[in-house]
Amino acid sequence: MTKTSPRSRTLKSVAMDWGEDSGIYGPRDYFRNNILLKEFHRYARGKTILDYGCGVGNMLMYFACAGYTVTGIEYSKAAFEYVKKRVADSSWRRRVQTYCGTFETIPIPSRSYDTVWCGEVLEHVPDDTVVVKNFHRILKPGGRCFISVPKGMNFWSDVDEYNGHYRRYSEEQLTSLFERNGFVIERMYVWGFPFTRAWDRMVYYPLFRKKMRQKIIYQGSSQVLSRILHNRHLVQLASKVFEFDQLWNWTKLGKGFILVARKPERKP
């Protein structure tokens, strides 16, 4: 059974709901998406993608520009409205559909997607089993999930509370979650040591704790550092530093998991 957080007992007054804050999309996040994309390009088949918890639509944009047909589901109304406008203003809007809600409220047909993309989302949902069961249902046989989640309740902090997390995962919990719901694990590893952990300690966590103290709901930032963190070219350049972390994945000292899980083919 997944070990749940103390979220219901502490810091409830400052914890935000999923999607209420856009987060800090700095070099760490850019790097994490890139290493998950490497797995996508290695394993993915077909052209239809469901991005579950699409946030502000960064990956929707990437996949649509690359020629994929993409559906984005986002729980936050604020984030959904932002994504909807972003899609409407784009040249690739015909390849994208967006919905506000969850699997419980949106009727997604079974066996309709080649790929599920779910980056840093499962930790936000109260019942992750329901979500993974639906991943299996909506994937075509042979389809794959590309997943990233935070690792280890030993890393639990007030920032998890603020971000609306219900849990951080152990290796056993994450593999069990997918295997007991019909998936085969094709690849799984820990990422995020040593530079990612240093970034969290010196930049990421201090910024979030400032938001927590001020009870800020994200509406854009005038702070110099936040402006830098949202500059695409600077973020891409800074993310190169984190490439060094990939040499240390064997230590399992990182703070996140990358997972590729496959829905088996039909039986003959």
Domain of 38 in residue numbering reads as 32-192+249-262
Q: Residue 231: what pLDDT?
A: 62
Residue 3 in domain: no
Residue 107 in domain: yes
Residue 233 in domain: no
Over the chain (268 residues), what is each successive 10-residue block's mean pLDDT?
42 44 65 94 96 92 95 92 90 93 93 97 96 98 98 94 93 98 97 92 83 58 52 67 88 96 82
> Considering only CA atoms, which of 96, 34, 108 is closest in space to residue 67?
96
Residue 8 in domain: no
Phi, psi of 51 (to 5 degrees): -100, 105
Q: Residue 37: what pLDDT?
A: 96
Q: Residue 256: what pLDDT?
A: 97
CA dist 133 → 216, 223, 264 (Å): 35, 42, 14
CA dist 234 → 37, 143, 202, 218 (Å): 20, 35, 18, 21
pTM for the complete prediction?
0.86
Residue 11 in domain: no
CATH code of 181's domain? 3.40.50.150
Q: Residue 14: what pLDDT?
A: 44
Give the C-alpha separation, 241 to 247, whole Å.
Answer: 12
Check the CA dihedral 35-265-65-95 and report its sign. negative
Q: Residue 207: what pLDDT?
A: 78
Q: Residue 213: what pLDDT?
A: 74
Give the C-alpha separation, 7 to 123, whole Å.
Answer: 12
> Considering only CA atoms, which of 237, 253, 226 is closest in space to residue 30?
237
Q: Residue 97: what pLDDT?
A: 95
Q: Residue 7: what pLDDT?
A: 46
Tally the domains of the chain: 1
